[in-house]
Amino acid sequence: MTDTDAIVVGAGPNGLAAAVTLARQGVEVTVLEAAGEVGGGTRSTELDVPGVLHDVCSAVHPLGAASPFLRTLDLERHGLTWRWPEVDVAHPLPDGKAGALVRSLCDTAAGLGPDGAAWSATFGPPARNFPELAEYVLGPLFRVPRHPVGPGRFGLLAAQPAATLARRWRDEPARALFAGVAAHSFQPLSRLCTSAPGVVLVAAAHHTGWPVAKGGSHRITKALASSLLELGGRIETGAGVRSLAELPPCGAVLLDLAPPAAAILAGDRIPDRVGRAYRSWRFGPAAFKLDLVVDGGVPWLHDDCHRAGTVHCGGTFEEIAQAERDIQRGRMAGRPFVLVAQQYLADPGRSRGDLHPVWAYAHVPHGFSGDATGAIIDQIERFAPGLRPRIVASRAQGPRDLERYNPNYVGGDIACGANDPWQTLFRPRLALDPYVMGPGLFLCSSATPPGAGVHGMCGYHAAQSALGYLGV
The residues, ordered by sequence, that sit 6+ positions from 167 with a Cβ below 8 Å of its Cβ are: none
Is residue 223 domain-resident?
Answer: yes
Q: Report the alpha-carbon distance of residue 464 to residue 472 in Å, rounded.
A: 9
Q: Which residues of 353-392 are buried (b: 16+ CB within 10 A; e: fewer)?
A: eebbbbbbbbbbbbbbeeebbebbbbbbebbbeebeebee
Handedness of CA 196, 198, 199, 205 (dihedral sign): positive
- Residue 139 is predicted with a pLDDT of 79
Where residue 452 falls (left for φ over 0; alpha for ψ -120 to 50; beta otherwise) is beta
- CA distance linking residue 188 with residue 182, whole number of Å: 10
Q: Which pLDDT does position 146 carry in this prediction?
A: 59
Output the domain CATH number for residue 459: 3.50.50.60
Number of domains forming the structure of the chain: 1
As averages over each run of 10 residues, the pLDDT of the chain (472 residues) reads 85 98 98 96 95 96 96 96 98 97 98 98 96 88 56 86 97 98 97 95 97 98 98 97 93 98 95 96 98 98 98 98 98 97 98 98 98 98 98 98 96 96 90 95 97 96 97 91
Residue 9 DSSP SS3:
strand
Question: Quick check: is 31 in a domain?
Answer: yes
Domain span at 19? 6-80+213-283+414-470
Helix (H, G, I), strand (E, B), or coil: what is residue 124?
Answer: helix
The Cα 2–Cα 85 span in angstroms is 48
Residue 277 belongs to a domain: yes
Residues 140 and 126: their CA atoms lie apart, in Å, by: 18
pLDDT for 54: 98
Closest CA to 200 of 287, 285, 258, 141: 141
Residue 276: inside a domain: yes
Please report the pLDDT score of residue 148 as a whole number.
55
| Residue 465 belongs to a domain | yes
Q: Give dist(CA 396, CA 308) in Å, integer.
A: 23
The per-residue pLDDT for 335 is 97
**Mean of all residue pLDDT scores within the chain:** 95
* Model pLDDT for residues 311-351, shown as the tens digit of each residue: 999 999 999 999 999 999 999 999 999 999 999 999 999 99
Helix, strand and coil content of the chain, in percent to the nearest 5, comes to 40, 15, 40
> Distance between CA 233 and CA 226 in Å, rounded?
9
Distance of CA 122 to the CA centre of its chain: 23
Q: Which residues pair with 289 in a beta bridge?
A: 361, 397
Fill in the amino acid letter for 186. F
Q: Is residue 315, in this structure, part of any structural domain at all?
A: no
End-to-end distance of the chain based on CA atoms, in angstroms?
Answer: 17
Output phi, psi for 256, to 5 deg.
Answer: -95, 65
Cα–Cα distance for residue pair 438/221, rounded to 1 Å: 28
Q: Is the dihedral of CA 399, 62, 445, 54 positive or negative?
A: positive
What CA–CA distance (Å, rounded) separates 425 from 283? 15
294 domain residue, yes or no? no
- Partners of 358 in beta bridges: 292
Q: Could you give the residue ranges of the DSSP H alpha helices within 25-148?
A: 62-65, 105-111, 116-128, 130-137
Residue 72 lies in a domain: yes
184 half-sphere exposure, CB direction, 13 A CA radius: 24
Residues 6 or more apart whose CB falls under 8 angstroms from that of 468 comprise none
Nearest to 23 by CA among 192, 212, 235, 175: 235
Neighbours of 426 (CB within 10 A): 15
Q: Tell me the C-alpha distance between 18 and 22, whole Å.
A: 6
* pTM (predicted TM-score): 0.95
pLDDT at 116: 98
